Amino acid sequence: MASGALEGRCLTLFAITMFFCIVCLVMVTLRCCTRISIKGFGSDDWLMLIGTVFGIMTFITVLCGCKAGLGQHDYDLVEGDYSKIKRALMKFQVLYCASLIFIKSSICVALIRLVISKRLLYTLYAILALSASYGFIAMMTVLLQCKPLKATWDPSAGTCSNQAIIVHISYFVTACSITTDFACAVMPFIILWKLQMRKRLKFTVAAMLSLGFLASAATIVRIMYLDSYFATHDLAYKVSNVVLWSIIETGIAIIVGSIPSLKPLVKSIPFFGSHHSRSERKSLNLRSGNQSYALGSTAPQGHRTHISCPSAKDRDKEDGESMKDSLISDPGIIFVRSEVQVEEGSRPNIGYRSFKSFTF
């Protein structure tokens, strides 16, 4: 097989990387457009956007590595291919770590907006700090393992640290990654359990966010192949397993982190939207005690009701920065302000007001 030919594992790696590259680009583009349309582009969106930029650069680096021979056996490579492959691997490792720092930070910031308990808030801050710390350590390890940096892909240019140290640090970083992935997948269940939401909506949102278990699973599989860095034979073929599962982990993290932000877009599609139109909702009656009154009516004995039903778009504008609103807002919320005039003997009128909200 000629060098640069896409066959076997090389072709598999190329195809999967291309798939995640396209899907992640589409998902994040839709996320950004959706958040901008409701004037809710926040810090979690910026972090995800930066993480995706690094992620796309990671994917492109792997695609270039495949063209150089990453995923092929030694007997399929020609002189000079290993230098290109090692250079691509070095760039891949740095970009991979950078992308995960921002992606996990985005997910943590989004979850922080839903948290009420200080204990959960501090837990998320700890996850955020751990993700940034081990990602930075991994990046520095890759960049400083050889002096000068060129020696990473050209041994004759300088000296490099013991490869065993690099692998041990890789195990540590991967273990931390599994921990943070698992924590980010479990936290939605803990957070949403305490929120006042319909059970069906609560489980739907939690299920979407907890797809992060897939990213954690990919990381667990990846750790099984880390010893391939010790390989002295067929390095390009063996290390491709590490690259493959790293790509899957990154792609899933970007997709899962973007899905919840697409709720306003999905709800705008008639098939997925509410079954009742706005006009139908306005014809509904409110019941108070044993009497029902039409919207905007005045009840006997000086009981007046003021009903307003803001659109989902208006509610999003009120607090566009809040991920919580985009997750749990419901277009069927009616706000009611009641005014009751009470007259007792010769005493002056006493006004009483109450505010209620109804969800249907």
Rounded to whole angstroms, the Cα distance separating 264 from 249 reads 26
Residue where one domain finishes, among candidates 239, 267, 295: 267
Say if residue 97 is in the same domain as residue 179: yes
347 falls within a domain: yes
3 falls within a domain: no
Residue where one domain finishes, among candidates 234, 267, 300: 267
Rounded to whole angstroms, the Cα distance separating 252 from 210 reads 11
Say if residue 260 is in the same domain as residue 290: no
pLDDT tens digit at each of 360 positions of the chain: 545 567 788 999 999 999 999 999 999 999 999 999 988 899 999 999 999 999 999 999 999 999 999 999 888 888 778 889 999 999 999 999 999 999 999 999 988 888 878 898 999 999 999 999 999 998 998 898 888 989 888 888 888 887 777 778 888 888 888 888 888 888 877 877 766 767 777 677 666 666 778 888 888 898 888 888 777 788 899 999 999 999 999 999 999 889 888 878 877 777 655 544 444 444 344 444 444 444 444 444 454 544 445 544 444 444 444 444 444 444 444 444 545 554 444 444 444 444 444 333
Say if residue 292 is in the same domain as residue 257: no
Cα distances from 42 to residues 28, 35, 39, 319, in angstroms, run 14, 8, 9, 11
Two tokens, residue 103? 């992606």
Give the pLDDT of residue 172: 86
CA-closest candidate to residue 86, choices 231, 236, 256? 236
Say if residue 236 is in the same domain as residue 290: no
3-state secondary structure of 225: coil
Give the pLDDT of residue 302: 52
2 falls within a domain: no
Q: pTM score > 0.85 for this model?
A: no
31 falls within a domain: yes
Q: Which domain holds residue 351?
A: 278-359
Say if residue 51 is in the same domain as residue 188: yes
Two tokens, residue 85? 């492959």
CA-closest candidate to residue 21, choices 68, 49, 50, 53? 53
Say if residue 292 is in the same domain as residue 156: no
Say if residue 283 is in the same domain as residue 261: no
**Identity at 106, one-letter amino acid code:** S
CA-closest candidate to residue 91, choices 139, 28, 124? 139
Residue where one domain finishes, among candidates 267, 294, 318: 267
20 falls within a domain: yes
Give the pLDDT of residue 3: 54
Q: What is the CATH number of the domain that holds 143?
A: 1.20.1070
Residue 106 main-chain phi, psi, to 5 deg: -60, -45
218 falls within a domain: yes
101 falls within a domain: yes
Q: How many CB atoms lie within 10 A of CB 82?
A: 17
Cis omega (within 30 of 0) for bond into 148 = yes
64 falls within a domain: yes
Residue carrying the six token digits 């992640």: 24
The count of C-alpha atoms lying within 13 angstroms of the C-alpha of 224, restricted to the half-sphere facing its C-beta, is 8
Burial class (CB in 10 A: 0-12, 13-18, 19+), 134: buried
Say if residue 258 is in the same domain as residue 314: no
Say if residue 27 is in the same domain as residue 70: yes
Say if residue 247 is in the same domain as residue 291: no
Residue carrying the six token digits 């005045």: 298
CA-closest candidate to residue 328, choices 356, 286, 359, 284? 359
Who's near 43: CB < 8 A, 6+ residues apart? 109
Give the pLDDT of residue 291: 44
- Please count the structural domains in the chain: 2
Say if residue 219 is in the same domain as residue 72: yes
Say if residue 237 is in the same domain as residue 314: no
